Amino acid sequence: MTRQFAAHRRIARAYRPRGFTMIELLMVVSVVGIMMAIIVPRMRITPATEAQLAGMQLAQDLDLARTRALSTRNMSEVAFTLGAGSYTGYLDINGDSTITHTNLEKLGLEAFGTRPLPDHIAYGRGTATAIPNEVGSGAITFAGNHVDFDTRGLPMPMGTAGTVYLHHATDRSAVVAVAITPSGAVRLWTWKNGAWQ
């Protein structure tokens, strides 16, 4: 009986599952750490991409304010707040052709309300020059730091054009410009390799 018991015990020991040793665990953790060190930096968003995304959002919001003015036959406005790094959209909901910056007018646009600029993005030209054919100066070339659209979706006063410049706070060469033509068209410009594209 003791021989059978000893043989059974040897067989049970041979098939018993074994855990990982501390050295094996350290090796796995090290390999994972090395892989993360290689992969993570490639997944980071560059300052130029951050500026581009902020410019795209602003261009969409300006186009939305223009489209709402056209579709509702009421004036709309996008007002830029330089110090706070944000912009707010308004719609003349009572049709009196006056924007008074009330909460009802902000809600009337049904779009973005007050939108803060993303982290690391600020108003300004950074190291870029003005876009081609720009007539104004500064971070925002619209008079009064706002753009108004009339009931036909055209910038007011008639023939108004302007640009909003955004740059990355840590890389001042990462600059975009959102321009509005007198016809109300919105265009996104990107500063790349010392020239606007």
Q: Where are the domains of the chain?
A: 2-43, 47-196
Quote the CA–CA distance of 156 and 144 in Å, as a whole number.
12
Task: Please name the residues in contact with 135: beta carbons below 8 A apart, sequence gap of 6 or more.
Answer: 141, 161
Q: Please check whether the domain covering 47-196 is classified as CATH 3.40.1260.10.
A: no
Quote the CA–CA distance of 147 and 164 in Å, as a whole number.
10
* pTM of the complete model: 0.78
Residue pair 93/104 in contact by the 8 Å Cβ criterion:
yes
**CA angle at 19 for the pair 17 and 23, rounded to the nearest 5°:** 145
Specify the pLDDT at position 14. Answer: 56
pLDDT under 70: residue ranges of the chain: 1-20, 40-43
Residue pair 99/90 in contact by the 8 Å Cβ criterion:
yes
At 5-58, the pLDDT tens digits run 565 666 655 555 566 677 777 777 788 878 777 776 666 789 999 999 999 999
Quote the CA–CA distance of 197 and 97 in Å, as a whole number.
36
Quote the CA–CA distance of 50 and 153 in Å, as a whole number.
29
User: Which helix (H) or strand (E) is 77 found in, with range?
Assistant: strand 76-81
Specify the pLDDT at position 135. Answer: 76
